[in-house]
Amino acid sequence: MPEKRKDAKGRILKDGESQRKNRSYDFRYTDVHGKRRSAYAKTLEELREKEREIQRDLDDGIDYSAGTITVLDLMERYIAQKQSVRYNTKVGYTFVTNLMKKEDFGCRQIKNIKPSDGKALFIKLYNDGRSYSTINSIRGVLRPAFEMAVEDDIIRRNPFSFRVVDVVPNNAVTRKALTPQEKDKLLAYIQEDKCRRRYYDEVIILLGTGLRISELYGLTKSDIDFEQRRIRVSKQLTRTRHMGSCEYYVEKPKTESGERYIPILDNAVYQAFQRVIQGRRNPKIEYIIDGYTGFLFLDKDGKPKVAGHLEHALKRIVDNYNKSHTDKLTVSPHVLRHTFCTDMAAAGMDWKSLQYIMGHSDANTTMNIYAHSSYEMAEKAMAKVVQSR
């Protein structure tokens, strides 16, 4: 009978175990793919703890060695499978990946990541000055990436199943709808100056339709039906800088419910569209983008406008207004959309109809995000109920 192997302390070693010349230990085993692997430890006790983990993983069909890939490797593997996402989503993935490349966390092996590690990462990012929305975007990649690893039997549980709001405070600025008085002040201020006046119709249309800014600039002449008084929303126009040049592209609306018709029942909106079409100059070059042409809104060079045009213009307008007025305004293209939705809800439009007009895939988005209530709205709603009794 062969003599059993022992370590320097006289302890019997199990099959696969051995002690190295430097007195550390290693364990040789075969993984689920039939490949020979090794695990190392300074002490026999530590090695046997690793052995128990390895055996448990082998029993469950989990590839222990696959867990040695880094967080960044896992993220890139996940992102590589998202080929059909929109361009803006790809931009978001690139932003998150580049940010994680600057963090030591991205170089850690995924098998060693615990929920407490994920929470510590978010706390660090928050203390470094990262916004809540940025941290939420990072979780938006890490959580599904680790979920993929769970589904692939690489790790046992997802360390990013917790909510960001349970770890760091939500310091995002709450989007506030404009009051009727604020709308009047904004429109009057835009109209009174010949330079600012050129944005008046775009603001009127956004306040009266709830269009997303990229949907507004995606409109072509054929999308406006004056006879039936409605707008066809079937696309959005965006632009990106690539290799030093600007590149336009057309995408479907943000959600599957984004393709819709919006009634032009407000005469101010109807007249605004008429002015836009009548005042549209024929450019030297009529752009054809992904088969579409005749875009309604053009810049001074005759090129189709994109979201950045009005975003920057509104910022300048609001900054100048706030410098010369004691009452302050907070306005962006999305605030105009938010205001439309809130106004429609306050006027009593049912949620399903409002969801359709807004192009939301989920009515909860309409109710919980855009249509914020106020005391005045609640008072009117309560008065309606009391009167009906």
CA distances from 12 to 28, 30, 51, 285 (A): 16, 21, 15, 85
First to last CA, the chain: 97
Calpha distance 214→250 (Å, rounded): 10
**Cα–Cα distance for residue pair 119/389, rounded to 1 Å:** 52
Q: What are the angstrom distances between the C-alpha of 298 and each of 79, 116, 248, 263, 285?
A: 35, 51, 13, 23, 11
Q: How far apart are CA 100 and CA 103, in angstroms?
A: 5
Tokens at 183, concatenated: 């709308």
- Catalytic site positions: 212, 254, 334, 337, 360, 370
d(CA 374, CA 348): 14
Dihedral angle, C-alpha 242, 247, 251, 254, nearest 10 °:
60
Yes or no: say if 164 and 139 are a contact pair by the CB < 8 Å rule.
Answer: yes
